[in-house]
Amino acid sequence: MSETTTTSTVIPTRERRREVSMADVAAAAGVSGQTVSRVANGRTNVDPDTRQRVLDAMSTLGYRPNSAARALRSGRFRSIGVIMFSLSSYGNTRTLDALASMAAASGYSITLITVQSASQSDVSGAFLRLREHAVDGIVILIETHRLGENELALPTGLPVVVVDSSADYPYAVVDNDQAQGARLATEHLLDLGHETVWHVSGPPESFAAERRRNAWRAALEDRGCHVPDEQIGDWTAESGHRIGQALAADADVTAVFAANDQMALGVIRAFHEAGRAVPDEVSVVGFDDMPEAANFWPPLTTVRQRFERVGEEAMTALIADIEGTGREHARTLVPTSLVVRSSSGPRR
C-alpha cells in the first residue's frame, strides 16, 4: 500500500497480475478444473469431501469466477442493461434504485447507459453498446414518445421491459397509473368545490404528461366542467413559476393541478409573489410526492407515485423473461394514491 501522499510513489506498476482461475483452484485441491466448475455452479454430483476441499482451496486462494469467460462460454452475463435519459428526473432515479436493488437480489448487476437525448441515434447507439456488453436483458427508462416502434425494435432477441406509459410496444411495459393519479388529483379539487381546475402539464413529447393531461380533461368533462386552456411546462420548477405568474394574474383561477411537484413548487411561489394565498385563495396539487413535498410551504397535496414498486415490477418481469418463466408481454400499471396536505382547500 502506498504511503499516500506526494512522492509519486513508483507504485509497483499495477501488474496485470493474473487472477486466480479454476485451474489454480483445481491444482490446489488436487482435482480437475471441471470439478471446480461443478462446485462453483452448485452441481449436486460432487462428493461432499471433494466439494469441501475445493471450497477450502477457493477461499484460500480468493477465487472468484471470471464472468467474462463465463459469459463467453454460456452467452449469459447475469447483467441487466438500463438505458436512461439522463438521471435528471427524480422519479426515474428512484425507479433505477429499485431496479438495482432487485437486480442485486437476483444476482444480476446493472449496466447503466445514459443518453443525452431520446433521439433515435442515441437510443439505438445505446442498444448497440449494450449488445456488445453481453447483457441478458434491457430496461428502457425513457420517454419514448418520439421514437417509433421500428426504431425501438432490437436487432437481437434480447428480453426488454419498457418503463413508460405508452402501450403497443412488443415488450412488457410497466408504469405508474398516470391516468388514475391525474383523475384523483382533479376530482379532489372539484370535490373541494372548485368550479374547474387549471392544469400545468409536462412537455408535449412526454407520454406521461399526455396521459395526465388527458385524464385531467376527461375528469373535468365527466363533471361537465369548463376545460381551461392547458399550460405547457417542461417539468422544471422554473416553468411552473413562469406559468404560475400568468395564472396568478387571472382572478378566475382557484385550483391548479401541476403535472409534477417541481412545477407545483414554481406555481406556488408565483402565487406567493402575487400575494394570492395558498390554499385560501388558490389550491395547488402536484404529482410525484417527492420527499420534499411535505415540507414545501404550504405542504403540498400531491399524487404519490410508487416508483420503487415500478422498478420491482419491471425487474421481476424482465428476469422472468430472461429465465424463461412466463413471457406474457403484459402491461402493468401501479396504482397511485392521493396525499392530502395543506396546499389544497375548499373554494372560498
Partner DNA sequence: GAGCCGGATGTTGACGTAAACATAACCCGA
Partner DNA sequence: TCGGGTTATGTTTACGTCAACATCCGGCTC
Under the binding rule (CB under 7 A), the answer on residue 46 touching DNA is yes
Least distance CB 51 / DNA (angstroms)? 7
Least distance CB 278 / a second copy (angstroms)? 9
Residue from 52, 59, 88, 119 binding a second copy (CB under 8 A)? 88
Least distance CB 75 / a second copy (angstroms)? 6
Rounded (5°) CA angle 322-67-48 = 95
Residue 144 contacts residue 136 (beta carbons within 8 Å)? no
Number of residues that bind a second copy (CB under 8 A): 87
Under the binding rule (CB under 8 A), the answer on residue 23 touching a second copy is no
Under the binding rule (CB under 7 A), the answer on residue 303 touching DNA is no
Residue 303 to residue 337: CA distance in whole angstroms: 6
Site string for DNA, 56-75 (x = CB under 7 A): ---------xx--xx-xxx-
Least distance CB 16 / a second copy (angstroms)? 6
Strands 337-339 and 302-304: antiparallel
Which segment (42-50, 245-253, 258-266, 323-331) binds DNA by CB under 7 A? 42-50
Under the binding rule (CB under 7 A), the answer on residue 49 touching DNA is yes
Which segment (29-37, 124-132, 186-194, 251-259) binds a second copy by CB under 8 A? 124-132
Q: Report residue 117 as a C-alpha cell.
A: 437525448
Residue closer to DNA, measured from CB, 38 or 188: 38
**If we measure between CA atoms, which residue out of 309, 311, 270, 306 comes closest to residue 287?**
306
Residue from 30, 170, 335, 346 binding a second copy (CB under 8 A)? 170
Residue from 236, 245, 316, 320 binding a second copy (CB under 8 A)? 236
* Interacting positions 220-279 with DNA (CB under 7 A): none
Q: Which does 35 bind (CB under 5 to 8 A by kind): DNA, a second copy, none?
A: DNA
Q: Which does 114 bind (CB under 5 to 8 A by kind): DNA, a second copy, none?
A: a second copy
Under the binding rule (CB under 8 A), the answer on residue 2 touching a second copy is yes
Other Cβ atoms within 10 Å of 20 Cβ, number:
18
Under the binding rule (CB under 7 A), the answer on residue 50 touching DNA is yes
Under the binding rule (CB under 8 A), the answer on residue 292 touching a second copy is yes
* Interacting positions 169-188 with DNA (CB under 7 A): none
Least distance CB 257 / a second copy (angstroms)? 17
Under the binding rule (CB under 8 A), the answer on residue 156 touching a second copy is yes
Residue 1 to residue 12: CA distance in whole angstroms: 10
Residues that bind DNA (CB under 7 A): 18-19, 21-23, 30-35, 37-38, 40-41, 44-47, 49-51, 65-66, 69-70, 72-74
